[in-house]
Homo-oligomer: A and B are copies of this chain.
Amino acid sequence: MRTAYYISDGTAITAEVFGHALLSLFTIEFKHITIPFVETTEEAIEVVRKISESFQDDDQRPLVFYTIVNIEVRKIVSKSVGINYNFLDQFVAPLEKVLGVPSKPEKHRTHSIHEKTYDIRIEAVNYALANDDGSNLKDYHEADIILVGVSRSGKTPTSLYLALQYGIKAANYPFTEDDMGDILRLPASLRRFKDKLFGLTIQADRLHQIRSERRANSKYASLKQCRMELREVENLYRKEKIPFLNSTRFSIEEISAKILATTGLQRKKY
Residues in chain A within 8 A of chain B (CB atoms):
2, 10-14, 16-18, 20-22, 24-28, 32, 34-37, 61, 63, 67, 83, 85, 87-88, 91-92, 95, 98-99, 101, 103-105, 108-113, 115, 118, 122, 125-126, 129, 132, 156-157, 160-161, 164, 249-254, 256-258, 260-261, 270
Contact = CB atoms under 8 A, between A and B. Distances in A.
Contacts of A32: 270
Given A18-B18, A27-B104, A111-B254, 20 more contacts: A11-B254, A11-B256, A12-B257, A13-B257, A14-B17, A14-B18, A17-B18, A22-B91, A22-B95, A25-B104, A26-B103, A27-B101, A34-B260, A35-B261, A36-B261, A37-B258, A87-B87, A111-B251, A111-B253, A112-B253
B101 A28 contact: yes
Contacts of A125: 156-157, 160
Copies in the complex: 2
B21 A67 contact: yes
A87 B35 CA distance: 23
A250 B113 contact: yes
Nearest to A248: B113
A37 B261 contact: yes
24 contacts: A11-B253, A14-B18, A17-B18, A18-B88, A22-B95, A24-B110, A25-B105, A26-B95, A26-B99, A34-B261, A83-B98, A111-B251, A112-B253, A113-B249, A113-B250, A113-B254, A118-B251, A122-B252, A125-B156, A125-B157, A160-B160, A160-B164, A161-B164, A164-B252
A36 B92 contact: no
Contacts of A105: 25
A16 B270 contact: yes
Contacts of A126: 156-157
A88 B22 contact: yes
A16 to B, nearest CB: 7
Contacts of A164: 157, 160-161, 164, 252
Nearest to A213: B123
A58 B148 CA distance: 38
A129 B156 contact: yes
Contact of A157 (B11, B67, B122, B249): B122
Nearest to A15: B21
Nearest to A11: B257
Contacts of A109: 24-25
Nearest to A65: B91
Nearest to A124: B157
Contacts of A256: 11
